């Protein structure tokens, strides 16, 4: 791998190597620019993915070297529902390894529907919320969805229904095998008149671009993929970036500040290396792709005389309109075995409730997916249906009876962007590097709680129609954290009401680009990754053009 010294002014620093950062690094490096990727997490098994463990105990107790997710005891965060509440230790976490969250995610790759980019126009605004149109349209993004699907490798099937986005091209590989829970979705949907589609997944169902097909190992979400079937940034984008000889990936690099020069332009980043030594990397421009929570936090940490409230934050919008991601669901027991522990974590979808319908009494919608698997330890500890004994002869009998017969539905649901829901810096708590910890303040709008209740009820109905017994609904709960976080650096045309413009360039800083889920104006139906990837390909296209025309160095 090509390396650069920190005092070499590279063309771009890309902060983060996940869904967006991997694509940005690859596109910029392929275009001939020098790139240093600063990744907070370790290397994982980058380049030797066959060594990813499928041992449940080791996966739950990783050594620091083997961690794939952030560590709440080091990347500390705090949480409160509202500013009137006390903060408490937070549960928020995110993928933290070369490849980011794409190394371990379930892989759901749903596109946003065209109207999800202008819901304020089509559905109307809601008083007290930040619902607004995106500054881009679906048609502008469509070619980049296609590019992302084909370059990453998405398994799926184009289905002509108003509940899915129209596609100019089918998926590159067919859907993964339908699981028993998917077949049960069809049985239920037939009775209820619902629409069932194979879920698009970032997981190849047959050999593709030198990678081999999923073997349905059943140790999926939360695990690294030992056959490289999961289409993570680490096995798709980053190797190509490195192969250009223009790109260096620096793992274990925890950025504490993006620095600015006297003209208010960014000129590098200061990070802690693995030994917590401070290093300053110089660059002509910075691309921030650290996920919605960390990107906002880093901008707020990057205070200077010129930007006393945080970098690119003259609007005061950085960190606001956070959407953590809401869900609902239910489980039930079927007469015959499903063995849903085999295969991918997330399979078939019911999509009829994606569009908003005023008759339901709330704004928004969601997707129902047959999702859930029990690996043996987690099944034993907390997989039995509520009411089962927790130890003894009855517990053992329940283990026997319920294993293989359980079906779980998980729904992914709208969450409205609220100015009061935000990421900021905790004034009291520090992270393991001595920096102010991330503080999350989040309370879903009453509308969103109605949406969660609606999807809870629908999950029960679908399970009943599938013939399940002993059905148990997941408690209706507001979110407290999660890797689907979006919205903290929203894009828009108005510099007073958004952080970046429609090309992801910070309104305040001409050579700073923020590209990740933070740019979402509205949250879609809480499956963000495919849209993050499409945005990244589009952002990179414009950025390469701008950089080649000298637009980054002309003084802004």
Verify binding: residue 379, another protein, rule CB under 8 A: yes
State the Cα–Cα distance between residues 233 and 100, nearest whole angstrom. 8
If one asks whether residue 74 binds another protein (CB under 8 A), the answer comes out as no
Write phi, then psi, for 319 (nearest 5 degrees): 95, -15
- Using rule CB under 8 A, residue 207 touches another protein: no
Site for another protein in 456-485 (CB under 8 A): none
Q: Closest Cα partner for 413 from 347, 476, 332?
A: 476
178 belongs to the binding site for another protein (CB under 8 A): yes
Total number of residues that touch another protein (CB under 8 A): 56
CB 230 within 8 A of CB 202: yes
Question: Using CB under 8 A, which of 7, 387, 393, 555 touches another protein?
Answer: 393
User: What minimum distance in Å lies between the beta carbon of 335 and another protein?
Assistant: 8
Alpha-carbon gap, residue 408 to 29, rounded angstroms: 42
CA dihedral 423, 425, 431, 435 (to 10 degrees): 130
Residue 39 in the binding site for another protein (CB under 8 A): no
Q: Does 542 help bind another protein (rule: CB under 8 A)?
A: no
180 binds another protein (CB under 8 A): yes
Helix H or strand E encompassing 537? helix 529-548
Three-state DSSP string of 221-271:
CCCCCCCCCECCCCCCHHHHHHHCCCEEEECCCEEEEEEECCCCCEEEEEE
Interface with another protein (CB under 8 A), residue from 334, 437, 515, 552: 334
For position 206 contacting another protein by CB under 8 A, the verdict is no
Among 182, 198, 327, 349, binds another protein (CB under 8 A): 182
Whether residue 437 contacts residue 276, with contact meaning beta carbons closer than 8 Å, is answered with: no
The nearest distance, CB 270 to another protein, in angstroms, is 24
- Between 152 and 214, name the residue whose CB sits nearer to another protein: 214
Angstrom CA distances, 455 to 187, 369, 445, stand at 19, 11, 16
Cα(74)–Cα(100) distance, rounded to whole angstroms?
17
Q: For another protein, which residue of 3, 5, 7, 61 counts as binding (CB under 8 A)?
A: 61
Nearer to another protein, 340 or 352 (CB): 340
Strand positions, DSSP E, 495-538? 512-514
Is residue 63 a contact residue for another protein (CB under 8 A)? yes
List 23, 30, 184, 536, residue binding another protein (CB under 8 A): 184
SS3 readout for 418-471: CCCCEEEEEEEEECCCCCEEEEEECCCCHHHHHHHHHHHHHHHHHHHHHCCEEE
Select from 1, 9, 32, 51 the one that contacts another protein (CB under 8 A).
51
DSSP designation for 531: H
Cα–Cα distance between 176 and 257 in angstroms, integer? Answer: 42
Q: Segment near another protein (CB under 8 A), from 130-138, 357-365, 375-383, 481-489? A: 375-383
**Measured at the alpha carbon of residue 324, what is the angle toward residues 98 and 268, in degrees to the nearest 5?**
45
Does position 90 interact with another protein (CB under 8 A)? The reply is no
Spatial distance between the Cα atoms of 82 and 75, rounded to a whole number of angstroms: 22
Residues facing 287 on adjacent strands: 14, 513
List 306, 342, 443, 502, residue binding another protein (CB under 8 A)? 342
Q: Supply 244's token pair.
A: 């250009």
Least CB distance to another protein at residue 154 (A): 20
At residue 505, φ and ψ (nearest 5 deg) are -85, 135
Per rule CB under 8 A, is residue 11 in the interface with another protein?
A: no
Beta bridge partners of 323: 486
Residue 277 near another protein by CB under 8 A: no
- What is the nearest approach in angstroms of another protein to the Cβ of residue 54? 5
Binding mask 214-233 for another protein (x = CB under 8 A): -xxxxx------xx------
Q: Which is nearer to another protein, 211 or 525 (CB)?
A: 211
Q: Does 273 bind another protein (CB under 8 A)?
A: no
CB of 55 to another protein, least distance (A): 5
CA distance 481 to 89: 11
| All residues at 6 or more sequence positions from 53 whose CB lies less than 8 Å from its CB, including other chains | 59, 66, 223, 224, 226
Of 392, 434, 550, 555, the one binding another protein by CB under 8 A: 392
By the rule CB under 8 A, 341 interacts with another protein = yes
- The answer to whether residue 111 forms part of the interface with another protein (CB under 8 A) is no
Handedness of CA 153, 154, 155, 161 (dihedral sign): negative
- Rg of the chain (C-alpha set): 23
Q: Which is nearer to another protein, 54 or 303 (CB)?
A: 54
Contact stretch for another protein (CB under 8 A) within 82-90, 263-271, 379-387, 522-530:
379-387
CB of 37 vs another protein, minimal distance in Å: 21
Closest separation in Å from C-beta 381 to another protein:
5
Q: 358 vs 392, which CB is nearer to another protein?
A: 392
What is the closest distance, in whole angstroms, from the C-beta atom of residue 337 to another protein in the complex? 5
Collapsing DSSP to helix, strand or coil, 8 comes out as coil
HEC readout, 260-296:
ECCCCCEEEEEEECCCCCEEEEEEEEEEECCCHHHHH
Q: Please pick, from the candidates 150, 395, 433, 503, the single residue that binds another protein as defined by CB under 8 A.
A: 395
Mode of pairing for the β-strands spanning 254-260 and 266-272: antiparallel
Residue 437 C-beta: closest distance to another protein, Å: 23
Shorter beta-carbon distance to another protein: residue 344 or 438: 344
Residues that bind another protein (CB under 8 A): 45, 50-51, 53-58, 61, 63-66, 177-184, 186-187, 190, 215-219, 226-227, 334, 336-343, 376-377, 379-381, 390-393, 395-396, 399-400, 403-404
């Amino acid at each position: 791998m090509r390396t650069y010294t920190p005092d070499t002014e590279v063309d771009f620093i890309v902060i983060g190597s996940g869904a967006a950062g991997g694509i940005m690094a690859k596109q910029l490096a392929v275009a001939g620019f020098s790139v240093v990727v600063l990744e907070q997490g370790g290397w994982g098994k980058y380049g030797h993915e066959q060594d990813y463990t499928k041992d449940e105990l080791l996966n739950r107790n990783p050594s620091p070297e083997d961690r794939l997710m952030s560590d709440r005891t080091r990347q500390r965060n705090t949480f409160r529902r509202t500013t009137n509440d006390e903060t408490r230790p937070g549960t928020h976490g995110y993928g933290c390894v070369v490849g980011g969250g794409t190394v371990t995610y379930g892989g759901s790759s749903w596109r946003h529907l065209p109207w999800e980019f202008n819901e304020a126009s089509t559905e109307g605004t809601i008083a007290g919320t930040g619902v607004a149109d995106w500054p881009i349209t679906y048609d502008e993004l469509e070619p980049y969805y296609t590019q992302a699907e084909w370059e990453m490798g998405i398994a799926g099937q184009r289905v002509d229904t108003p509940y899915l986005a129209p596609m100019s091209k089918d998926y590159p590989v067919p859907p993964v095998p339908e699981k028993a829970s998917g077949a049960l979705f069809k049985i239920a949907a037939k009775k209820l008149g619902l629409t069932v589609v194979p879920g698009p997944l970032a997981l190849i169902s047959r050999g593709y671009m030198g990678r081999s097909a999923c073997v349905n190992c059943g140790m999926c979400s939360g695990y690294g993929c030992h056959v490289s079937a999961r289409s993570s940034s680490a096995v798709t984008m980053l190797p190509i970036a490195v192969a250009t000889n223009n790109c260096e990936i620096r793992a274990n690099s925890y950025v504490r500040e993006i620095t600015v020069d006297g003209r208010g332009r960014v000129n590098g980043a200061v990070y802690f290396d693995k030994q917590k030594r401070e290093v300053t990397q110089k660059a002509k421009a910075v691309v921030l792709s650290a996920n919605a929570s960390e990107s906002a936090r880093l901008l707020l940490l990057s205070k200077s005389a010129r930007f006393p409230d945080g970098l690119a934050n003259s609007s005061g919008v950085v960190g606001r309109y956070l959407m953590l991601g809401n869900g609902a669901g239910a489980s039930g027991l079927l007469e015959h075995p499903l063995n849903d522990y085999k295969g991918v974590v997330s399979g078939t979808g019911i999509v009829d409730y994606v569009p908003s319908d005023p008759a339901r009494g709330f704004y928004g919608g969601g997707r129902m997916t047959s999702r859930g698997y029990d690996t043996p330890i987690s099944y034993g500890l907390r997989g039995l249906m509520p009411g089962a004994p927790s130890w003894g002869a009855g517990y053992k009998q329940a283990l026997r009876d319920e294993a293989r017969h359980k079906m779980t539905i998980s729904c992914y649901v709208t969450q409205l962007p609220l100015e009061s829901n935000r990421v900021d810096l905790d004034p009291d708590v520090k992270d393991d590097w001595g920096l102010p910890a991330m503080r999350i303040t989040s309370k879903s709008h009453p509308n969103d709680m109605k949406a969660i209740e609606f999807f809870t009820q629908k999950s029960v109905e679908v399970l009943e129609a599938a013939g399940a017994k002993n059905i148990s609904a997941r408690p209706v709960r507001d979110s407290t954290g999660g890797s689907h976080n979006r919205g903290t650096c929203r894009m828009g045309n108005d510099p007073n009401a958004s952080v970046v413009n429609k090309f992801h360039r910070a309104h305040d800083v001409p050579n700073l680009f923020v590209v990740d889920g933070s740019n979402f104006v509205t949250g879609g139906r809480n499956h963000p990754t495919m849209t993050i990837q499409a945005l990244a390909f589009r952002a990179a296209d414009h950025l390469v053009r701008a950089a080649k025309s000298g637009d980054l160095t002309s003084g802004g």
